[in-house]
Amino acid sequence: MRNFRSCGLAAAVIGGLMIFAAPASADDLEFTLTNATTVSATEFYVSPVNVDDWEDNLLEGKYLPAGNEVTVTIGDGRRTCTYDLKTVFEDGRTAENNGVDLCQTGKYTVHE
């Protein structure tokens, strides 16, 4: 089980869509997050595969409605592409996907 800790990312909701903001740098990783479920996502965690703890909840009190997508920027200063991902839904269910190469795909879709 992973513990939660900070990686310096921020999130805000504008017009029902999630917008993620972090200072842009050459080491930032940007990808599209799509919620292809019928339930809103209330938590979304991204941690490099070599880190044993879950890092920031990128939704931080916000949500990603079912059927919506947003652009996510990981501004943690690391030069890695492969992350473990965890989504928590408003009904309490969770979905995890380990070892996702976000540089290669440029996107991640959460499915039920």
More confident residue, 28 or 11: 28
First-to-last alpha carbon distance for the chain, in angstroms, is: 21
The CATH number of residue 78's host domain is: 2.60.40.2890
Tell how strand 29-35 and strand 69-74 pair up: antiparallel
Within-domain flag for 5:
no
**What pTM was estimated for this model as a whole?**
0.74
Within-domain flag for 111:
no
Within-domain flag for 4:
no
Within-domain flag for 73:
yes
- Asked if 62 contacts 32 with a C-beta cutoff of 8 angstroms, the reply is no
pLDDT tens digits, residue range 35-75? 999 999 999 999 999 999 999 888 888 899 999 999 888 88
Within-domain flag for 85:
yes
Number of domains observed in the structure of the chain:
1
Within-domain flag for 40:
yes
Check residue 82 and give its pLDDT.
94
Check residue 64 and give its pLDDT.
96
Q: Domain range holding 94?
A: 10-106
Within-domain flag for 2:
no
Within-domain flag for 112:
no
Token output for 100: 């996702």
